[in-house]
Amino acid sequence: MQIAVRALTAASALALVLGGFIPSLASAADTNASVLEEGKKLAFDRKKGNCLACHHVADGISPGNIGPPLLSMQARFPDKATLREQVYDATTKNPNTMMPPFGKHGVLNAEEIDKIVEYIYTL
Ligand code: HEC
């Protein structure tokens, strides 16, 4: 009897621990998915990033070709900070670029740039 009670207590303690743990994992995954989704929305939004005006992006409609297609970002930008700088202020790398300095000119705020960078880093 005593043992059965202990086993039950151990089982419910485990359930409590797992119960607290699993939902927090699930919500971390949700947050990540929604960051990527928002990043994509901002990148595609003609009044926000408008990246499609110049870049081909997977499943983007009517892309322009002034800039290179956005793909293999992780391979081309092993350091994510370099990619962020490209989006924040493309003139750092090329003062004559056609690409607008989104962060420097306040077209996108820091949070919006972070979301876009997270999204394009998956391309
Ligand atoms: C008006 C055109 C234009 C827009 C809008 C634009 N870009 Fe660009 N982008 C360029 C050009 C041109 C380059 C080529 C590099 C250069 O000019 O120095 C470039 C380069 C890049 C690169 C580097 C690619 C590589 O392989 O080296 C990234 C990343 C990038 N753009 C991301 C973005 C994102 C994200 C957006 C939207 C928030 C965006 N661009 C909007 C014109 C644009």
The domain ranges of the chain are 36-120
Q: How confident is the model at residue 22 (pLDDT cuts 50, 70, 90)?
A: low
Q: What is the pLDDT of residues 97-112, one digit of tens each?
A: 999 999 999 999 999 9
The confidence score (pLDDT) of residue 30 equals: 72
In angstroms, the CA 123 to CA 105 distance is 25
Q: Closest residue (by CA) to atom 34 of ligand 1?
A: 51
Q: What is the pLDDT of residues 81-97, one digit of tens each?
A: 999 999 999 999 999 99
Range in 20-24, 79-83, 91-95, 113-117 with the lowest mean pLDDT: 20-24
In angstroms, the CA 54 to CA 67 distance is 5
The confidence score (pLDDT) of residue 9 equals: 60
The confidence score (pLDDT) of residue 13 equals: 54
- Among 87, 99, 121, name the best residue to mutate to test ligand 1's pocket (greatest count of ligand atoms within 8 A of Cβ): 99
The model's pTM: 0.82
Cβ–ligand 1 distance for 54 under 6 Å, the answer: yes
Counting Cα atoms < 13 Å in the Cβ hemisphere of 47 gives: 0
In angstroms, the CA 110 to CA 102 distance is 10
pLDDT above 80: residue 122: yes
* Residues 65 and 56: beta-carbon distance below 8 Å: yes
- The superfamily CATH assigns to domain 36-120 is Cytochrome c-like domain (1.10.760.10)
Q: Closest residue (by CA) to atom 19 of ligand 1?
A: 67
